[in-house]
């Protein structure tokens, strides 16, 4: 394959694509806005699915390295009600198929698998334009440009590549989460640590809830979910962590203290994460020399599929390009024709999962989904 490959975004999807291409002897360059791999925290735990994330890692030849990152016992699940009553306590018996790893460690594994210089850090894209004949120009914030015969947007929700293919923009879904962490929780936050258990915690009610994961060294990564308009959150000053925390906590009056302490006792400042989604059936007409993967292509409600699908997209696109090294358009067509229905099905399922988590039947609807047995309040 002689066409130069330019990937925008060094997230899990873009790096998986670069790795699969590398295995097939196809060089690629990844441009990333962050100035270094450690420029910001990379998020919390990811469960890597048997039917998506794991096949992608096999295609990337990294299963042995991946297995070394798995945090044993983290597939345990606890579901609590607002009073702190345990409604479901499912231990990790070793038979679960979706092992948990830390996103940052998974990303570093992918970075380490690539030739030096593959990722160009500190390259924030300011614009893209078509030059004709399948070639595109990418302009960076510092005014420099690069032209390429194959441009892949792996640059997330607010992709700068997407406008070349689609006018769609993400829309706020009516819910945001507030993220924080608790360190050395077994010693410093024992009640919250006990509530979370050895894996994941879901403490839910209609339109709100607490989610938490146990990471390494006693760290709890917590998320407060709240269905409110963007304007409601805009009136909270997150530059004042104490005031922001107090305002969010008023929405959880009466909840068990071991749950509210997941935010009120946080050791990091609360970070607001508004949630957006693209249309479920988002797709585009084939345009020469450019495509999208991951959230840039199919941003959806958070349902545990996002990172897995991004990696799967990357692996599938890499395999398609390797199978059609002299016919880029055939490769992109094959990739997109499989990706569109796959991502639409996952997005539709995500809407259902979101309703089970935060709809009128929460938390009992979630337990029904997990156990297959109808639950009543």
- Going from N- to C-terminal start, the domains of the chain cover 5-38+45-72+100-170+279-358, 171-277
**Between 111 and 353, whose confidence is greater?**
111
pLDDT band (50, 70, 90) for residue 375:
low
pLDDT band (50, 70, 90) for residue 368:
confident
For residue 223, give the nearest of 204, 209, 207, 235 by alpha carbon. 209
Asked whether 216 and 102 are in contact (CB, 8 A), the reply is yes
Average pLDDT of span 312-330:
96
- In the chain, what percentage of residues exceed pLDDT 90? 80
pLDDT for 303 beyond 80: no
Answer yes or no: is 247 a known binding residue.
no
Is this structure's pTM higher than 0.75? Answer: yes
Domains 5-38+45-72+100-170+279-358 and 171-277 are alike in CATH topology:
no
CATH 3.30.9.30 matches 171-277:
yes
pLDDT for 51 beyond 70: yes
> Residue 361's pLDDT is what?
84
pLDDT band (50, 70, 90) for residue 34:
very high
Round the average pLDDT of the chain to a whole number and report it: 93
Answer yes or no: is 40 a known binding residue.
yes
Q: Which residues contact 320 (CB under 8 A, 6 or more apart)?
A: 331, 332, 334, 335
Q: What CATH number was assigned to the domain covering residues 5-38+45-72+100-170+279-358?
A: 3.50.50.60
pLDDT for 240 beyond 80: yes
pLDDT band (50, 70, 90) for residue 231:
very high
E strand map for the chain: 5-8, 28-31, 45-47, 77-80, 86-90, 100-102, 119-120, 125-132, 135-140, 145-148, 150-153, 171-182, 200-205, 208-214, 220-226, 271-277, 290-292
> What does the chain come to in residues?
377
**Between 368 and 179, whose confidence is greater?**
179
Number of Cβ within 10 Å of residue 99's Cβ equals: 21
Answer yes or no: is 295 a known binding residue.
yes
pLDDT tens digits, 74-130:
888 999 999 999 999 988 877 788 889 999 999 999 999 999 999 999 999 999 999
DSSP state, 115? P
pLDDT for 41 beyond 80: no
pLDDT band (50, 70, 90) for residue 374:
low
Helix (H) or strand (E) holding 63: helix 63-67
> Residue 367's pLDDT is what?
87
C-alpha dist (Å) from residue 375 to 292, 363, 364, 368 = 41, 9, 5, 6
């Amino acid at each position: 394959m002689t066409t130069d490959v330019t990937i925008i975004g060094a997230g899990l999807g873009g790096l998986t694509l670069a790795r699969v291409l590398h295995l097939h002897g196809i060089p690629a360059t990844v441009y990333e806005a962050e100035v270094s791999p450690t420029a910001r925290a990379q998020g919390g735990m990811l469960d890597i699915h048997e039917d998506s994330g794991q096949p992608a890692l096999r295609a990337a030849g990294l299963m042995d390295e991946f297995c070394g990152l798995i945090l044993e016992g983290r597939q345990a699940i606890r579901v609590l009600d607002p009073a702190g009553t345990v409604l479901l306590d499912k231990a990790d018996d070793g038979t679960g198929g979706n092992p948990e790893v830390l996103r940052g460690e998974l990303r570093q594994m992918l970075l380490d698998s690539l030739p030096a210089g593959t990722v160009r850090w500190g390259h924030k894209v300011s614009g893209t334009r078509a030059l004709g004949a399948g070639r595109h120009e990418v302009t960076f914030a510092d005014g420099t440009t690069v032209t390429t015969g194959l441009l892949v947007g792996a640059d997330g929700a607010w992709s700068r590549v997407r406008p070349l293919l689609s006018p769609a923009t993400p829309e706020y879904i009516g819910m945001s989460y507030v993220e924080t962490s608790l360190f050395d929780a077994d010693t410093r936050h024992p009640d919250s640590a006990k509530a979370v258990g050895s894996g994941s915690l879901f403490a839910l009610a209609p339109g709100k809830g607490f989610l938490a994961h146990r990471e390494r060294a006693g760290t709890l990564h917590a998320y407060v979910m709240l269905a409110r308009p963007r304007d409601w959150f805009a009136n909270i000053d997150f530059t004042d962590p104490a005031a922001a925390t107090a305002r969010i906590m008023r929405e959880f009056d009466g909840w068990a203290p071991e749950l509210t302490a997941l935010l009120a006792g946080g050791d990091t400042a609360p970070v607001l994460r508004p949630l957006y989604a693209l249309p479920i059936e988002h797709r585009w007409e084939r345009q020469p020399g450019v495509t999208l993967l991951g959230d840039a292509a199919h941003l959806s409600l958070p349902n545990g599929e996002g990172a897995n699908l991004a990696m799967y997209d990357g692996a599938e696109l890499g395999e398609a390009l390797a199978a059609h090294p002299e016919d880029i358009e055939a490769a992109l067509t094959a990739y997109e024709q499989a990706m569109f229905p796959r991502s639409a099905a996952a997005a539709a399922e995500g809407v259902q999962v979101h309703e089970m988590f935060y709809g009128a039947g929460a938390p009992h609807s979630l337990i029904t989904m997990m156990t297959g047995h109808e639950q009543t309040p």
